Amino acid sequence: MTDRLAVAKTYKLFIAGAFPRSESGRSEVIAGADGRVVGHSCRASRKDLRDAVVAARKALGGWSNATPYLRGQILYRMAEMLEGKRAEFESLLAQTERPPAGGPDARAQVTLAVDRLVAFAGWADKYHHVLGCQNGVSAPYWNITVPEPTGVIGVVCPPSVALLALVSLAAPIVCTGNTVVAISPASPAVVSVFGEVCATSDLPGGVVNLLTGSTAELVPHLAKHRDVDGICAADCPPELEREIRLGTADNMKRTSLRRAVDWADAQACHGPGWIEPFVEFKTVWHPIGA
C-alpha cells in the first residue's frame, strides 16, 4: 500500500535504566531540515528531574564502589555499542541538527564520540595516579592524597553538537564513579538513542539519566536541588549561567562552566582536566612504624 503512513517514533526520557514518557504528558514534534516529521520527543518536567536525581543517588553507591577496571570496561562497551549504532546516529544528526560553523558534521561527531568514550574508559583506572599524590612530610607517617567521586552531578548540554557534547561532558564524570543527570536541549532523538546505548552496555540503571526539553525550565531546579552535588555546563547563554551560579551557591555545589569549547579537539578534550572538577581529595595519614 503506497498510501500507508509510517509510525513516527516517540523518543523518550532515560531514567533509572528505563525509558519513561514525561509524567506531564507533554511531547514535541521533531522536524527534520526538510520540514518532515522525524518523530516526537518527551518534554521533561520538574517531577521527571526529581525522579532522575533519586535514580542517580540510588545508583551512586554501587557505581562509586565498582572497581576502576570495571568502570573502564563498561565505558569501552558503551563505545562499542555506539559504534554499532553509527548509521542510526549519523542519520538522526543529519536530519535534525545543523552543525555550527566549522563544527563536526554527523559522521565526525559519531567518530569523535566513540573515541572520547574510549579515552575516558582508559582514564578510569589511571586518573588517580595523575591527580593523587604522596606528600612529603617531616614526620614518621605516610601522607597520601587520593581522589574520590563527588556524587550526583548535573550536566547541562549546549544547544548544538548533541551527541559529542553529551559524551564529552558525561564520560569524564562517570568514569570516576559519579552519577549523572543530564539535560539536553539539542536533538532529543539523538539524546534518547544514546540512552539505548547506555541501556545495552552493562551500565547500571541510574548511573546516567537523560532528560530532553527546555533548559530554561529545568536548569534552575537542577541547580537548586539539595541532593545534586555539582553542575557541569558548557556553552550556556549568559542568563542560564546566572541561574546556575545562583542555584549552586545555595548549597555550595561544585560548578564547572565551560565556554567556547572546541568539541572536535581531541587533545584538549581527552585530558584529566575534564575529570578533576568533580573529584574530591582525601588525605590519609598512616604511621610508618619502626
Listing DSSP states for 187-208 in one string gives -HHHHHHHHHHHHTTTPPTTSE
Q: Which domains does the chain have, with CATH numbers?
A: 11-287 (3.40.605.10)
Per-residue model confidence as pLDDT tens digits over 79-102: 999 999 999 999 999 998 887 887
Tell me what pLDDT residue 33 has: 73
Average pLDDT score over residue span 23-45: 88
Report whether pLDDT(27) > 60: yes
Tell me what pLDDT residue 5 has: 75
162-174 helix and 68-84 helix, angle to the nearest 10 degrees: 170
Average pLDDT score over residue span 141-161: 93
Average pLDDT score over residue span 173-189: 96
Residues 6+ apart with CB under 8 A from 6: none
Looking up cell 554501587 gives 62
150 touches 278 (CB < 8 A): yes
Average pLDDT score over residue span 188-210: 97
How many CB atoms within 10 Å of residue 84?
A: 12
Report whether pLDDT(248) > 70: yes
Percentage of residues of the chain with pLDDT beyond 70? 99
Percentage of residues of the chain with pLDDT beyond 90? 82
How many CB atoms within 10 Å of residue 40?
A: 18
Tell me what pLDDT residue 44 has: 97
Distance (Å, rounded) from C-alpha 135 to C-alpha 23?
Answer: 51
For the chain, give the mean pLDDT: 93
Tell me what pLDDT residue 37 has: 85
Tell me what pLDDT residue 135 has: 83
- Comparing 5-14, 54-63, 249-258, which segment has the lowest mean pLDDT? 5-14
Tell me what pLDDT residue 2 has: 66
Residue 1 — pLDDT band, cuts 50, 70, 90?
A: low
66 touches 50 (CB < 8 A): no
Report whether pLDDT(62) > 70: yes
Tell me what pLDDT residue 290 has: 59
Residue 138 — pLDDT band, cuts 50, 70, 90?
A: confident
Length of the chain: 290
Least Cα distance to 173 among 150, 202, 145, 206 occurs for: 150
**Greater confidence, 171 or 31?**
171
Cite the DSSP H helix spans in the chain: 46-65, 68-84, 86-96, 106-123, 127-131, 162-174, 188-199, 215-224, 238-249, 266-269
Least Cα distance to 199 among 19, 59, 11 occurs for: 19
Average pLDDT score over residue span 1-11: 78
The residues that bridge with 180 in the sheet, in sequence order, are 153, 208
What is the bridge-based pairing of β-strands 279-287 and 141-149?
antiparallel
Average pLDDT score over residue span 54-63: 98
* Phi, psi for 151 (deg, rounded to 5): 145, -130
154 touches 208 (CB < 8 A): no
95 touches 32 (CB < 8 A): yes
CA neighbours closer than 13 Å in the CB half-sphere of residue 123: 24
